[in-house]
Amino acid sequence: MDDALYTPFEAPYRMSMGLMALRADEWLEADGPWREELAEKRRLLADPPEEMVFTLPGADAGAREALHAMATHLAGQHGERYHLAGGALELPEFEERWDLDDPALEAIDVAGRIAREDVCLMEHDGTAWRLTAASVCFPTRWRLAEKKGQALDAIHAPVPGFEDKLARPVTRFFDHMKVARPVWRLNWSLVDDPALYLPKRHRKRPPDPDLSAENAGSRIWLRVERQTLTRFAVSDAILFTIAIHRWPLARLARLPDAAAKLAEAARTMPEATKSYKAMPNIQAAVLGYLDGLGGEEAG
């Protein structure tokens, strides 16, 4: 599972928008564990453990515009994996052919299946930006059904500090977002399970009595979400994409600066954030491991 390594830690800890301009040719990823992730989506969607896909009434046009844009991008940038032919997107490795204009297909479902990314469509209803369609197979401990039709603020209600610090700038950013100016950001978590699908109930898992500073390097995983936002010209919808990147914590062994920053971020995080990010069960082992790395470097 070799994948680009991201280490987006701010030390001391700070929750920020962290939006960066996205080059149009770097929108969607089709490398690293692409094949494994698309296969896992197909496995989950064949017998979904919870609701993973929905389209609210009226959201099909936006979802279809997003699907067309994604298919054009994937075929243009990743021609080794995707072909566009006669209005259909082909994925030879999965022996699939998706007719993009087939009205019998749910556009957001197809959008989620063709990409490594999970996809969330946001549309303004005159009052707020709401989640109107989505395909999410790889949530990081949240439940899509609870976010269906919700506005940005309500979606983020469980996130400590979001309402005070981010709700206004995020909404302002959405209101003024330009079609030709996509953006991206990174969000990190530490988890004790490398599974792609992490349901909300994982927050309540009991501590692992065998976890220690000695084995945290292989038992704890750094899970980074690479998120993008793109606005579409015709429907005026905004697509939020989430790609999951995972590495055992031991990948930081050769990156002492990143390891030290992560340790400081974990130490300086407000208590409410620690608890939201399910840190208490793993914090001692993680810090013991990271501090041990620093010691080796110094020695």
Question: What residues does 133 pair with on adjacent strands?
Answer: 55, 121
In the complex with ligand HEM, the residue whose CB is nearer, 78 or 156, is: 156
Name the one residue in this structure whose structure tokens are 């989950």. 44
Binding piece for ligand HEM, criterion CB under 6 A, among 15-23, 97-105, 205-213, 279-287: 15-23
Closest contact distance (angstroms) between CB of 31 and ligand HEM is 24
Positions in 107-146 near ligand HEM (CB under 6 A): 120, 122, 131, 142
Taking the complex as a whole, the smallest distance from the CB of residue 125 to ligand HEM amounts, in Å, to: 15
Helix H, strand E, coil C: the string for the chain is CCCCCCCCCCCCCCCCCCCEECCHHHCCCCCCCHHHHHHHHHHHHHCCCCCCEEECCCCHHHHHHHHHHHHHHHHHHCCCCCEEECCEEEEHHHCEEEECCCCCCCHHHHHHHHCCCEEEEEEECCCCEEEEEEECCCCECCCHHHCCCCEHHHHCCCCCCHHHHHHHHHHHHHHHCCCCCCEEEEEEEEECCCCCCECHHHHHCCCCCCCCCCCHHHHCEEEEEEEEEEECCCCCCEEEEEEEEEEEHHHHHHCHHHHHHHHHHHHHCCHHHHHHCCCCCCHHHHHHHHHHHHHHHHC
Q: How far is the CB of 101 from ligand HEM (least distance, A)?
A: 26
Output the smallest distance, CB 113 to ligand HEM, in A.
18
> With respect to ligand HEM, which residue has the nearer C-beta, 31 or 271?
271
Give the count of alpha carbons within 13 A of 8, CB side only: 22
Q: Please, what is the minimum distance in Å from the beta carbon of residue 203 to ligand HEM?
A: 8
Determine which residue in the list 158, 207, 270, 280 makes contact with ligand HEM, applying CB under 6 A: 158
Least distance in angstroms from the C-beta of 79 to ligand HEM:
29
Site mask for ligand HEM (CB under 6 A), range 204-243, x = bound: ------------------------------------x---
Q: Is 83 or 148 the residue whose CB approaches ligand HEM more closely?
A: 148
Site for ligand HEM in 257-296 (CB under 6 A): 277
Closer residue to ligand HEM (CB): 90 or 117: 117
Residue 38 in contact with ligand HEM, rule: CB under 6 A: no
Q: Which stretch binds ligand HEM (CB under 6 A): 40-48, 74-82, 166-174, 213-221?
A: 166-174
Residue number with CB closer to ligand HEM (100 or 152): 152
* Ramachandran sector of residue 40 (left: φ over 0; alpha: ψ -120 to 50; beta: rest): alpha
Task: Tell me which amino acid residue 291 is.
Answer: D
Task: Write out the residues near ligand HEM by the rule CB under 6 A.
Answer: 15, 17, 19, 120, 122, 131, 142, 147, 155-156, 158-159, 166, 170, 173, 187, 189, 240, 277
